Amino acid sequence: MNQHGGFRLGSVLGFEIRIDYSWFVIFVLVLWSFSAGVFPAEYPGLTATTYFAMGAVGTLLFFVSLLAHELSHSVVARSKGIPVEGITLFIFGGVAWTRLESETPGDELVIAGVGPLASLVIAALFGGLAWLGTTLGVASPVVGVAAHLGILNLALAVFNLLPGFPLDGGRLFRAIAWKLSGDLTKATRWAANGGKALGYGLMGLGVLQVFAGAGLGGLWILFIGWFLRGAAGASYAQHVLQNVLAGVTASDVMTADPETVSAGLSLDRLVEEHFLRLHFQSFPVLEGGRLVGLVTLAQVKKVPRETWTDRTVADVMTPTSEEAAVTPEAPVTEVLDAMREIEAGRVLVARDGRLAGIISAADITRWIQWSREVEGLSLQHHGGRGTADA
């Protein structure tokens, strides 16, 4: 999942909140489960409108609880000097996006542990409200919603404490393993393997549930296990990639002095003299020696062929500026972030409006391969965070 996907909902405590489009799937499922299953079964005799209202309020407050869980991680991470780009709610809950990992096992322990603790506090608050509502004779729909939110947040805390990376429990395990071994990468591998094992276990449980007649519930457990297995592997791969790229700058991986085109060049000449001759997918655009944009083959293909002689590169290019490019000293992690935002998949490197180079995913891949060959898979981890374990 792209951390910049979906749409921006707003900002809380200085953290950008985004909603991934997959979030709507779980929103509808939870709403349907509450409105058509849980509440009618436990509080019979109410109207369909009441059940729907209970389901809607319960679902919204559940996701507010998930947001509070992620905010607790983000606040503590920021207090430890770790930049937090924002929070994204998606199909399986939420995630706080950070640029850096914890500097010490103690920081990792605190950042990971505060999430389940926040969920336990929220569970206690909703449970207390349900008890108080029952004592005061508050209407059953209000009590029912509060009681189930208490149960859901308790389940959320327990599930997140399972020792499988990237769950909070897996991160707690990683912090302990990191402290004992002194090797973050080795600890991450152990925790990720635990996450994969947990994922396979849940998948097996889901299959058994399906054959036992659980139907949708079994499929849901199977789906969660499949997602966790994949997330564990992806999280370890991301950690190794960060190790490899730590300390690497845009100037290290860029293609210097790339082939360029002028803004006034007609599209027919652009295709004939550049795209067909060099087989590149994009070209930086210069005007008067200054960088003004990036033109891609995909952009040209959108223009009717019969108009290519009358249209110029400036008509179809993506305009750029120094703010839209990266400097030669920019970390490659920043380049990767920029690459996710750019449809062309290429990042321009410039200083004071002058083009220095261009970076594609292939450039970064080549640098990683070269680094591994030169260092014999013994990758030095910059910043004092240990040595990558191949």
Q: What is the DSSP letter of 230?
A: H
Long-range contacts of 161-165 (CB under 8 A, 24+ apart): 161/116, 162/198, 163/191, 163/194, 163/198, 164/191, 164/194, 164/195, 164/196, 164/197, 164/198, 164/199, 164/228, 164/232, 165/191, 165/192, 165/194, 165/195, 165/232, 165/235, 165/236
Question: Pick the catalytic residue: 70, 273, 287, 334?
Answer: 70
How far is residue 168 CA from its own chain's centroid?
Answer: 16
CA-to-CA distance for 130 and 154, rounded, in angstroms? 14
Strand 84-90: give its sheet, edge to edge: 7-12, 15-19, 84-90, 93-98
* Start-to-end CA span in the chain (Å): 25
Strand partners, 312: 266
Tell me, yes or no, if 70 is annotated catalytic.
Answer: yes
Strand partners, 15: 12
Q: Residue 102 — φ and ψ, nearest 5°?
A: -60, 145
Hey, which residues are catalytic here? Answer: 70
